[in-house]
Every structure is written in structure tokens, then in C-alpha cells.
Amino acid sequence: NAGVTQTPKFRVLKTGQSMTLLCAQDMNHEYMYWYRQDPGMGLRLIHYSVGEGTTAKGEVPDGYNVSRLKKQNFLLGLESAAPSQTSVYFCASSRQPSYGYTFGSGTRLTVV
Amino acid sequence: DAKTTQPNSMESNEEEPVHLPCNHSTISGTDYIHWYRQLPSQGPEYVIHGLTSNVNNRMASLAIAEDRKSSTLILHRATLRDAAVYYCIRVWGGQNFVFGPGTRLSVLP
């Protein structure tokens, strides 16, 4: 049982480059989330989805786009990477938010 | 403010109980209290959650104050593997979920 899988685990981008982070879950969860975590801080919500085909903005959505074309996948895109987007990105999923979330192991992104 | 308040850090001795406090003074009746922990270089891990009553599971116990303005996560017997950052989170509106900086727990052998 894989749970929540994030790819890639590490990436270095140059300023202005684009990339897509993939999150896949095999638990048939409706809810999926993207967070970023900066050193010494808690997690901040970027975007989330309450079901296939839906997305919504979180606390820090600027500079990111997301898509949920399939229930099991939630993609996070950076169209033009900036050094301020250097962070660790975590994906999470939930059957029902009040029941708890399952997190992936993270993607460490560096923008130079 | 939807965030909770926790001490920045705590220490415990191995094999002793640990009580991690959390204040959530603005909580409303339908908000859940969740606890997660994060080990170094890993994603957060679900520990326990509750609404009004005290809760127990294989990892920990959660004691919620009668007025629900505070809660305590109880690790009954700390081990070295319990050293982590512990996050107390208020979940409101069924899906809104904000992490604070958490409490860094150190476990001394």
C-alpha cells in the first residue's frame, strides 16, 4: 500500500524555468492538497481539491497552478520558477478532512 | 485567528510520559483538533484527532478541555523515535487546516 507518492523527490531549477510536481494516491481519497514548508516554519496551503475536476486556492497560491484530471492524481505546476519558490513541497490526501490526512514524503525544490 | 498556540520546544526523558499542550481559544463547536508529528526530512504523520471527548489510539492519547479552548497530547512512554515536531491543528469548515510552527520535542536517553 503506497499511500501518497510524490515525484520527483529533488529538483533544481533555474529562474524562469517551469516544472510540474506529481502527487498520486491509491486510497481513493476525494480530497487532495499541496503545501509548502520553508525552514523552521509550519506548512502553508497552496491549493487544494475536493474532488476530481475541482481545485481551489489556499493560503499562498500565487505563482502556482494545479490540476486534478484524475481522482488519484493532483499536479502542481510552476510556470516561471522564482528563487522565492525554493521550498519543500508536500502533498496530502484525505477521505474526509475531519478524519485526518495522509502526507507524502515531500519534494525538495531549489530555484537558482 | 485560526491558528493554535504551542510551546516552541519541550524536553522529555526516555520512557517517561510527555504532555504536549495546545491552546485554541477561538475554537467553535464544530471544529476538530488534530495532532500531527514530523520527523526530520519526512512528511507530517497523523497522530490523533478529536472533537469533544478524550481519545486514545495506539500512538497517543488526546485530552480535550471541557471548554475546548485547550488540549493536551499525551505520549505515555516517550522513546527516542518520538523526537519530532508536533503540530496541533484546528480543522474548521470541514476542510480548513492551518499549520503553526509546532513544538519541537527532544527525548533524552
Q: Which three cell numbers stand for residue B47?
A: 497522530
B74 pLDDT more than 70: yes
Among candidates A31, A44, A105 on the partner chain, residue whose Cβ is nearest the Cβ of B95: A31
pLDDT mean over A7-21: 97
For residue B78, count CB atoms less than 10 angstroms from its CB and return exposed for 0-12, middle for 13-18, buried for 19 or more.
buried
B2-34 core/surface letters (b: 16 or more CB in 10 A; e: else): bbbebeeebebeeeeebebebbbeebeeebbbb
The confidence score (pLDDT) of residue B99 equals: 79
Q: Using CA atoms, how far apart are residues A105 and B45, in angstroms rounded to an integer?
A: 10
Distance from B16 to chain A by nearest Cα, in Å?
Answer: 27
Give contacts of A41 with chain B, Cβ < 8 Å: 101
Give contacts of B36 with chain A, Cβ < 8 Å: 101
Quick: pLDDT tens for B8-36. 999 999 999 999 999 988 888 788 899 99
Quick: pLDDT tens for A41-77. 778 899 999 999 999 999 899 999 999 999 999 999 9
Question: Cα dihedral angle (A50, A8, B35, B19), rounded to 10 degrees?
Answer: 180
